[in-house]
Amino acid sequence: MSEIADVTAHSGPKIIRIELTPLFVPFLETVKQAMQSGSGGLGMAIAAEEAWLGEDFVICRLVADDGNIGTGEAFVWLPETGVSPEQIIDAIEHALGRYVLGESPFNVERIRHRMDCNVARSEVAKGLLDMACYDLMGRIAGRPASDFMGGRAVDKIPLAALIPLMDVDSMVGFAEYFHGEGIQTLRIKLGNSIQEDARIIRRMREALGNDVRLRVDYNGAYSPTDAVRAIKAIEPFGIDFAEQPVRASDYVGMAYVQKRVDTPLMAHEGCFSLQDIVTLMELGAIGIVGINSERPGGVTNALRAITCAEQRGMGVVIHNQTLGIASAMQIHLAAARYHSLGHAAELFGHVMLEDDLIVEPIDYSNGYASVPQGPGWGVSLNEDALRKYAKRPAVEINA
């Protein structure tokens, strides 16, 4: 029986090449201006010193011996991700790639197990390879990637919009604009002071009414005791959840806050692996699970995280500001596990970035994102745009 299982594990097209391209894609000028006029020049209460003028990415392409290509994308920002595109490429080129080359992309569990056994952490790099496997599966089988996540439950998903931390009038103006575009959920950046937080949320409710769902993001701005005071100050206005009220590494502080407020907490900056999520759950430090294309490491671990949350009665939030490949991946994921989420997805790359690097545009309209049609992610890379934004030629790793 074990011999039969081993043969099955190696059947079908095999991955023969990995191509890794580092990219930098600037923000739109209007986004740069809005962020620079906001808190710390970043539109959020985070103490990073470097100007944030655009985003770094790694594009991964897995080439199979039948000619099909699967694509993945990782967004990285050092103040949060802690790794650069070059470090991701190095980890794959000199370690992780050997557990992918020669494998069938359908063996994602086997690939993930081998990567975990041989390379500690490196969740973003592992997730990048994992994501590309799902697209490659779809290309080979001629089926949408969501079919390998349980099947599509809906054809479109509701969206949330991000409101940067700026002067109150500008924040309310952005919120009213997005609401007018059909958005029913907003993520509000807070964290300059408890008094200002309360003033912003009060103005939001006055402008938008009580039907719009509000979530807030502190980007680790407060100490645990101040975080309790800050959240209690806005709880009367009805808040879905509060994201990262204390610094990323302070799991005990998150638990301290969660036990003292009624609003569910979500970890973001401090949550990269599946084990991080489980640890925060067991500590009673979160009431919502946040995932995206690189956390907790690709589609396979995202599906596991959603199941963990569902078993504990927790909601799940998918949010990121990515290019078109990762946005399509997250839409497929949200559509497949739609009934387990309970919260609108926030996909904001198409609003913030100069280009999304895909040929087929994703339909974002009336507050929803439609699931792309076609095999895999249902979108393909724009080769001209890939060359334009590449920081250097692709690194190729061959079997």
Question: How confident is the model over 110-122, as pLDDT tens digits?
Answer: 999 999 999 999 9
Tell me: pLDDT of 205 over 50.
Answer: yes
- The least confident of 2-11, 23-32, 187-196 is 2-11
Q: Judge if 125 and 163 occupy the same domain.
A: no
Q: Are residues 268 and 158 in the same domain?
A: yes
Query: What pLDDT is stored for residue 111 in this prediction?
Result: 98
Contact (CB, 8 A) for 217 and 188 = yes
CA distance 216 to 342: 16
Q: Are residues 362 and 222 part of one domain? A: yes
Q: Are residues 135 and 162 in the same domain?
A: no
pLDDT of residue 388: 98
Cβ-contact 304, 116 below 8 angstroms: no
Residue 309 lies in a domain: yes
Beta strand 346-347 with 315-320 is parallel
| Residue the block writes with tokens 């200002």 | 196
In a domain, 378, yes or no: no
The reply to whether 316 falls in a domain is yes
Q: Name the pLDDT band for 46 (thresholds 50, 70, 90).
A: confident
Buried b (16+ CB within 10 A) or exposed e, 363-377: ebeebbbbbbebbbb
CA distances from 151 to 144, 295, 332, 335, 337 (A): 9, 22, 9, 8, 8
pLDDT tens figures, 249-275: 999 999 999 999 999 999 998 899 999
For residue range 330-346, list pLDDT tens digits in order.
999 999 999 999 999 99
Q: How confident is the model at residue 308 (pLDDT cuts 50, 70, 90)?
A: very high
Let me know if residue 175 belongs to a domain: yes
Is residue 329 predicted with pLDDT exceeding 80? Answer: yes
In this structure, are 116 and 166 located in the same domain? Answer: no
Residue 35 has pLDDT above 80, yes or no: no
My answer on whether 213 and 317 are in the same domain is yes
Which pLDDT score is estimated for 9?
54
Q: Does 377 fall in a domain?
A: no
With a pLDDT cut of 90, the percent of the chain lying above it is 87
How far apart CA 173 and CA 96 sit, in angstroms, is: 46
CATH code, domain carrying 38:
3.30.390.10
Domain identity same for 185 and 109 = no
Cα(303)–Cα(321) distance, rounded to whole angstroms? Answer: 20
Q: In terms of domains, do 130 and 217 share one?
A: no
Q: Is residue 183 part of a domain?
A: yes
376: in domain:
no
Of residues 252, 231, 248, the one with CA closest to residue 240? 231
pLDDT at 8: 45
Q: What is the CATH number of the domain that holds 170?
A: 3.20.20.120
pLDDT over threshold 60, residue 5 = no
Tell me the DSSP string of 334-389.
HHHTHHHH-S-BEE-HHHHBS---BSS---EETTEEEPPPSSBTS--B-HHHHHHH
- Cα gap 56→77, rounded to integer Å: 7
Q: Which residue has the higher pLDDT, 220 or 49?
A: 220
Domain count, the chain: 2
Mean pLDDT of the chain: 94
Kindly state whether residue 351 falls inside one of the protein's structural domains.
yes
Confidence of residue 40 (pLDDT cuts 50, 70, 90): low
φ, ψ for residue 355 (rounded to 5)?
Answer: -155, 145
> Tokens 């808190």 correspond to what residue?
39
At 39 the pLDDT is: 64
Q: Which domain holds residue 388?
A: 2-144+383-398
Domain match, 172 and 243 both: yes
The reply to whether 111 and 205 lie within a common domain is no
Using the predicted structure, report yes or no on whether residue 6 has a pLDDT greater than 70. Answer: no
Q: What b/e readout covers 137-171, taking b as 16+ CB neighbours within 10 angstroms?
A: bbbbbeebbbbbbeebbeebbbbbbbbbbbeeeeb
Q: Are residues 135 and 229 in the same domain?
A: no
- Which residues 6+ apart lie within 8 Å of 225 measured at CB? none
Helix axis angle, 108-118 to 298-311, nearest 10° = 100
Predicted pLDDT at 52: 83
Across 46-55, 95-104, 371-380, least confident range: 46-55
pLDDT at 141 over 60: yes
Q: Say if residue 219 is in the same domain as residue 335.
A: yes
Q: Is the pLDDT of residue 176 over 80?
A: yes
